[in-house]
A and B are shown apart, each in its own frame.
Chain A
Amino acid sequence: QKEVEQDPGPLSVPEGAIVSLNCTYSNSAFQYFMWYRQYSRKGPELLMYTYSSGNKEDGRFTAQVDKSSKYISLFIRDSQPSDSATYLCAMSGVSGGSNYKLTFGKGTLLTVNP
């Protein structure tokens, strides 16, 4: 079983739709969870960072963590064509450690159609 599973998509939605992107993980030591957005031929950019279970909202984006189910989600409200990108989840179990390695999902390709 892979440490992090993420549906690669592709996911295609109409403009204005609510988008739900998800990752599951197997390592119960993971405590820190991130979502990155990667536009085509660009480096990933940090979108959301959350610690432990719960929700975090930033504008149209909400990150949700359910540690009991080992499941994280990213919701995008009122999706826009500019949201079209690959979304990568990432997680780690150590903060304050010496190397800060992240475990990434493979990414979900999202297209928002005008």
Chain B
Amino acid sequence: SQTIHQWPATLVQPVGSPLSLECTVEGTSNPNLYWYRQAAGRGLQLLFYSVGIGQISSEVPQNLSASRPQDRQFILSSKKLLLSDSGFYLCAWTPGSTDTQYFGPGTRLTVL
């Protein structure tokens, strides 16, 4: 069966520090991968998605970037965090043949 992992689970970072969040999927190959941010009262905001290694599409211009160095690995990064980057970050995946997305457990990021 397929499993999606995210780490760390929680993170507290100072403003201006770098960020690296990691997402990995097990039990499948060539998944589509997604990064979302969920802020209170604002719903799920799609940040990036990837249909293959090295292929990244950005949905919202911002302080963040994404990379996909391996088929089942998706990384969300920032060089300098802003207060507004605080939120709950969710990684999701779909198999190549369906639009149903499956979410990871999330990373709660607090920028102070």
Pair B90/A102 contact, Cβ less than 8 Å: no
CB neighbours (8 Å) of A8 from chain B are 41
Q: What separation, in Å, do the CA atoms of A88 and B97 have in the docked complex?
A: 22
Pair B32/A99 contact, Cβ less than 8 Å: yes
Q: Identify the stretch in A13-21, A38-46, A55-63, A70-78 within 8 Å (CB) of chain B at 4 or more residues.
A: A38-46
Pair B98/A100 contact, Cβ less than 8 Å: yes
State how many residues of chain B have any CB contact under 8 Å with chain A: 24
Which residues of B (46-66) have their CB < 8 Å from a CB of A?
46, 49, 51, 57
Pair B43/A94 contact, Cβ less than 8 Å: no
Decide: A102 near B106, CB < 8 A? Known: A44-B90, A88-B44, A107-B43.
no
- Residue A104 at the B interface, CB < 8 A? yes
Pair B43/A104 contact, Cβ less than 8 Å: yes
CB neighbours (8 Å) of A41 from chain B are 88, 106, 108
Which residues of A (15-67) have their CB < 8 Å from a CB of B?
32, 34, 36, 41-46, 49
A-side interface mostly: loop
Q: What separation, in Å, do the CA atoms of A104 and B102 have in the docked complex?
A: 14
25 contacts between A and B (CB under 8 A): A32-B99, A34-B100, A41-B88, A42-B105, A43-B6, A43-B90, A43-B103, A43-B105, A44-B44, A44-B90, A88-B43, A88-B44, A90-B101, A92-B99, A94-B99, A95-B98, A99-B32, A100-B94, A100-B98, A100-B99, A100-B101, A101-B46, A101-B49, A105-B43, A106-B41
Interface of B toward A, CB cutoff 8 Å: 6, 32, 41-44, 46, 49, 51, 57, 88, 90, 94, 97-106, 108
